[in-house]
Amino acid sequence: MAGEDLTSSELAEPPRIPLTAAEFDEHQVHLEDSLMAATAGKGMTRWFWGEGVCLLAATRLAAARGDETPGWVHAFMTPYRAVAPVLEHVNNMAPGATLAELYRASVQAGEPDAAALALIEQSLEWYASAPEATREEGGALEHWPGGVWADTVYMAGQFLLRAGIALERPELIEEAQRQWLRHAELLQHPDVGLLVHGTNQGVRIGCHWGRANAWFAMAGADILAVTGAPEVRDRLVRLLLVAARLQPAHGVWDVLLDSPPEVRGLLETSAAAGLGAAALRTATLLADDDPAASATLRESGERAALGALAYVEDGILTRVSAGTVLQLIPFGYSVIRDDRWQPWGQGLAMEALAAWRETH
């Protein structure tokens, strides 16, 4: 393309050497503890997407370790039991996934949390009828009016899936799956297999952003584990196998998975952590029916996790892209933040660690 801006690409730092399996075995518990502690120490309070990613990841990592849900996760929820959060965007759905998990645990303990149930129901009402919750003509929930993004199947989909399980309402699980499949129809490239980040007024913008593919793959792996739907399996496996073929030896993809010139060499760790988690979980689900694909995805997932976790410094995942709205050209995805922590980076790093424990 004429006029490509290669500034960021030409200044890209070389990749770090990934952790070896032996190094990971030695430092796994320290990595987990440091990420959990650093995340807890940030004092998150907003009922929003980055916080939601952290809450669910911390809950999953604790469960994988055989630990109780961290106290700071419960503490985050406390003020919202008294005063419900403002719900005005799909990103406000994300913390609801963890709330649903906590509610399910309260039911299992014989002490159903009425305040949690009320907030779950409020969130479901917003999803079903709020004027801000717009849909495209095929029913996909829009991230912004006129735009369908891959992010949505994680931010809203994880809530729908887990609320469906907690409330024993299979129609919510079916809706999470239906949204995932409709987003796949709109966003998954029919030839390439990767997802574009999103659409603008019905037009697919051809940027295969790594973290968008990670959101989609992680949600898909969790839906597949619950429903076993063949179409979910086929689309998810296709995406992850293509990503595995594009994956560099050090494990961490460029910020756009197909590495167009404007972002070539700009490594982005949160997508690698999320794709790694999805690949590990999907590999386990495929182990009996498709051992060859399972082996490929397991190796890719391990490589992604070991590559991404090499970028953890004092409990903070570095080389994480900023909060990113839909961009029209590849260069728009070149903003990588090393100057401050990114909550979604913390959450995706913990997801990689949780998935490793779940599958090894």
Q: Is the pLDDT of residue 102 over 90?
A: yes
Whether 154 and 215 have beta carbons less than 8 Å apart is answered as yes
Whether 100 and 162 have beta carbons less than 8 Å apart is answered as yes
Per-residue DSSP letters for 14-78?
PPPPPPPHHHHHHHHHHHHHHHHHHHHTT-----SHHHHHHHHHHHHHHHHHTPPPPHHHHHHHH
Q: Is the pLDDT of residue 1 over 80?
A: no
- The per-residue pLDDT for range 221-251, each reduced to its tens digit, is 999 999 999 999 999 999 999 999 999 999 9
Q: Is the pLDDT of residue 2 over 60?
A: no
CA angle 300, 305, 311 (to 5 degrees): 135
The mean pLDDT of 246-273, rounded to a whole number, is 97
Q: Model confidence at 328, in pLDDT bands (50, 70, 90)?
A: very high
Separation in Å, CA 333 to CA 8, 92, 97: 10, 23, 28
Q: Model confidence at 9, in pLDDT bands (50, 70, 90)?
A: confident
Number of domains in the chain: 1
Give residue 4's pLDDT.
Answer: 80
Whether 72 and 40 have beta carbons less than 8 Å apart is answered as yes
Instruction: Tell me, yes or no, whether 285 lies in a domain.
Output: yes
Instruction: Tell me, yes or no, whether 77 lies in a domain.
Output: yes
Instruction: Tell me, yes or no, whether 342 lies in a domain.
Output: yes
Q: Regarding beta strands 320-321 and 198-200, do their DSSP bridges make them parallel or antiparallel, or are they unpaired?
A: unpaired
Instruction: Tell me, yes or no, whether 15 lies in a domain.
Output: no
Give residue 156's pLDDT.
Answer: 98
Report residue 61 as tokens. 């990592």
Give residue 3's pLDDT.
Answer: 64
Q: Is the pLDDT of residue 166 over 60?
A: yes
Q: Is the pLDDT of residue 134 over 70?
A: yes
Report residue 183 as tokens. 């987003």
Q: Is the pLDDT of residue 337 over 90?
A: no
Instruction: Tell me, yes or no, whether 229 lies in a domain.
Output: yes
Give residue 278's pLDDT.
Answer: 99
CA distance 141 to 291: 35
CATH number where 249 lies: 1.50.10.10
Per-residue DSSP letters for 273-338?
HHHHHHHHHHHHHHTTT-HHHHHHHHHHHHHHHHHHHTTEETTEE-SEEPP----SSGGGG--EE-
- The per-residue pLDDT for range 135-153, each reduced to its tens digit, is 999 999 999 999 999 999 9
Give residue 51's pLDDT.
Answer: 98
Q: 248-279 b/e with 16+ CB inside 10 Å = b? A: bebbbbbbbbbbbebbbbbbbbbbbbbbbbbb
CA distance 201 to 299: 38
Q: Would residue 218 be called left, alpha or beta, if left means φ above 0 and alpha means ψ between -120 and 50 degrees?
A: alpha
Instruction: Tell me, yes or no, whether 128 lies in a domain.
Output: yes
- The per-residue pLDDT for range 17-64, each reduced to its tens digit, is 999 999 999 999 999 999 999 999 999 999 999 999 999 999 999 999
The mean pLDDT of 343-349, rounded to a whole number, is 98
The mean pLDDT of 278-301, rounded to a whole number, is 98
Instruction: Tell me, yes or no, whether 18 lies in a domain.
Output: no
CA dihedral 71, 72, 76, 79 (to 10 degrees): 60
Least confident window among 68-77, 124-133, 181-190, 337-346: 337-346
pTM here? 0.97
Give the residue numbers spanning the domain of 121. 23-359
Instruction: Tell me, yes or no, whether 246 lies in a domain.
Output: yes
Of the candidates 354, 353, 343, 356, which has an alpha carbon nearest to the alpha carbon of residue 317?
Answer: 343
Close Cβ partners of 272 (under 8 Å, ≥ 6 residues apart): 210, 251, 252, 253, 304, 305, 307, 308
Compute CA 18 distance to the chain's CA centroid, rounded to the nearest angstrom. 21
Q: Is the pLDDT of residue 89 over 80?
A: yes
Q: Is the pLDDT of residue 83 over 90?
A: yes
Q: Is the pLDDT of residue 207 over 70?
A: yes
CA distance 320 to 332: 15
CA distance 241 to 89: 32
